[in-house]
């Protein structure tokens, strides 16, 4: 059941009192960091205005996963696909470290006529019973070993002449040879930099072998793509920014909660979509977002808000970065939105 009450140090307070306490905590703080950013684009815009006004640092709490991926891209560019391109053009799809129960992959299975035109391989040990698709158990049950094995064999022998001696691997090689347009899908969350780099290199090597291959990166959700896009619009940098009197300063190594929780004493964490986000706690913590947040009595200040797509309309950037997606309200709420809260703070 959702709560409409704010909490200050575990005690119930009114929204008016909570907003007054929020302003006081900011004024008395020795440095403020904004994190989470699990909200829609209109709220994001007001948060960045607030951060610039008060010279704060700002990041999205899932940016660490994308940061590793972008680091690899800086040394090796590659070809990317959108959801629509995977659905309409790819006749071979190789999914690494996921199975068909992943809800994010529903767009692959939504239409029977599309599914019939594709060969879909799941390279994972997360096999499910009664699968309609091909599963390849990675050598030594490691995706790193699988990608290394494919990459080194293709590099040494070329694609056409490669023979692995392993039935499932050889079937996959034949499918790669026969395909007109292939896509590798993977999620970089909790993956090593080595594996991320190897997957990018594998896509590039297949293109060098005259096969048209693309990469579809499953981005973390909670509007991380929207946070990065808003940061680019506002600062020219992809998050991990600290506003100063001379303008925004970008530092991907230091401007994150892991580093700043020893340098600043107050964190404002925004999360509408996740009731149990992974937070790096500061000396003092303000949580603004989901009424069902599990640690509402353990933070210094908890302010519940309406949720885009549940009890308010909203816009987010789709996780493949291609377009904006509408979130339509299903219920009415008496709670303020994140946008309204930060609009009041900016007034």
- Burial class of residue 204, CB neighbours in 10 A (0-12, 13-18, 19+): middle
Q: What is the pLDDT of residue 114?
A: 61
What residues are paired with 269 via a beta bridge? 35, 287
Distance CA 328, CA 289 (A): 18
Highest mean pLDDT among 30-39, 113-122, 252-261: 30-39
Mean pLDDT of 212-221: 85
Mind listing the pLDDT tens digit for each residue in 226-279?
999 999 999 999 899 999 999 999 998 899 999 999 999 999 999 999 999 999
Q: What is the pLDDT of residue 24?
A: 95
Q: Are the C-beta atoms of 39 and 223 separated by less than 8 Å?
A: yes
Q: What is the pLDDT of residue 199?
A: 93
Mean pLDDT of 215-234: 88
Is 221's pLDDT higher than 80? no
pTM: 0.81
């Amino acid at each position: 059941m959702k709560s409409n009450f704010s909490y200050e140090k575990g005690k119930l307070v009114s929204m008016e009192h909570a907003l007054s306490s929020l302003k006081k905590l900011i004024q008395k703080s020795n440095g403020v960091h904004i994190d989470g950013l699990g909200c829609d684009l209109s709220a994001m815009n007001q948060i960045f205005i607030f951060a610039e006004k008060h010279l704060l640092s700002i990041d999205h709490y899932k940016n660490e996963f994308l940061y590793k991926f972008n680091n690899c891209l800086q040394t090796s560019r590659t070809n990317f696909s959108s959801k629509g391109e995977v659905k309409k053009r790819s006749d071979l799809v190789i999914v690494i470290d996921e199975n068909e129960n992943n809800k994010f992959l529903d767009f692959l299975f939504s239409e029977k006529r599309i599914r019939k035109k594709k060969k879909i391989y799941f390279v994972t040990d997360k096999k499910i019973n009664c699968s309609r698709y091909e599963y390849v158990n990675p050598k030594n049950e490691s995706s790193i070993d699988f990608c290394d094995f494919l990459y080194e064999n293709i590099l040494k022998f070329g694609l056409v002449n490669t023979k692995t001696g392993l039935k499932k691997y050889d079937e996959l090689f034949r499918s790669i040879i026969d395909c007109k347009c292939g896509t590798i899908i993977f999620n970089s969350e909790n993956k090593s930099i080595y594996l991320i780099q190897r997957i990018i290199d594998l896509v590039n090597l297949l293109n060098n072998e005259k096969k048209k291959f693309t990469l579809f990166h499953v981005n973390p959700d909670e509007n991380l793509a929207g946070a990065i896009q808003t940061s680019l619009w506002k600062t020219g940098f992809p998050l991990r920014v600290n506003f100063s009197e001379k303008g925004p300063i970008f530092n991907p190594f230091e401007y994150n909660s892991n580093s700043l929780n020893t340098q600043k004493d107050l964190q404002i964490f925004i999360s509408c979509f996740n009731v149990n986000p992974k937070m790096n706690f500061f000396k003092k913590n303000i949580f603004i977002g989901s009424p069902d947040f599990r640690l509402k009595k353990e933070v210094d200040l908890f302010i519940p808000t309406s949720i885009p797509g549940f009890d308010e309309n909203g816009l987010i950037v789709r996780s493949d970065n291609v377009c904006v997606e509408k979130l339509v309200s299903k219920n009415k709420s008496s709670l303020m939105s994140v946008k309204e809260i930060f609009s009041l703070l900016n007034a």
